[in-house]
Amino acid sequence: MTKPTLSYKAKGVRLRPLRDDDLEFTLAWRNREGVRQCFIYSDLITLPQHLRWFEQYTLKSDDCVLIAETANGERIGQLAIYDIDVQKKTAEIGRFVVAPEFAGQGLMRSAIEALCVLAKESLELNELYLEVLPTNASALGLYLRLGFQAGASDADKIKMTKSLI
């Protein structure tokens, strides 16, 4: 499988592939206090670490990080679809980070909804899953409202799934 170059427009947002010129933004969004603690790996990430990650990411064929934008091209946030399994027709989604100036406006919800449609229509997937920290109540609520079902959990994370059929 070659790396998908996914783009999609829906719900007032546009999804496009992550580019080099996005990296400073995505790093700043992800490292913000209160945001990074919502990730399983919550340490601060340095720019050299982020650049190394991006270099390795570009070599993967089952991983697509996207930037959500407004119609005017303003960056709303980052999201990803990865561990894409074309045989099982499943993938994981996550790495959701919103730009602080767009937080609380519902645009990342729209972006996640668009990502789910993209997964079904462009990648022909039947199921998506994600992992969330049990302490991240706002994310848990959002995922439930988006139709994800809580599944297996442990002290560290809850796995949630969504059927696209």
pLDDT of 3 above 70 = no
What is the mean predicted confidence (pLDDT) over 53-59? 92
Q: What angle do CA 50, 57, 71 make, to 5 degrees?
A: 80
61 — pLDDT class (breaks 50, 70, 90):
confident
User: 130 by DSSP, 3-state: which?
Assistant: strand
Distance between CA atoms of residues 129 and 152, nearest Å: 11
Of 76, 81, 74, the closest CA to residue 128 belongs to 81
Mean pLDDT estimate for the chain? 91
For the chain, what percent of residues have pLDDT higher than 70? 97
What pLDDT score does 5 carry? 65
The class (CATH top level) of 8-163 is alpha beta
pLDDT of 163 above 70 = yes
Output 38 or 89, whichever has higher pLDDT: 89
Output b/e per residue, 78-107; b: 16+ Cβ within 10 A. bbbbeebeeeebbbbbbbbbbbeebeeeeb
Residue 114 burial by Cβ neighbours in a 10 Å radius (0-12, 13-18, 19+): buried
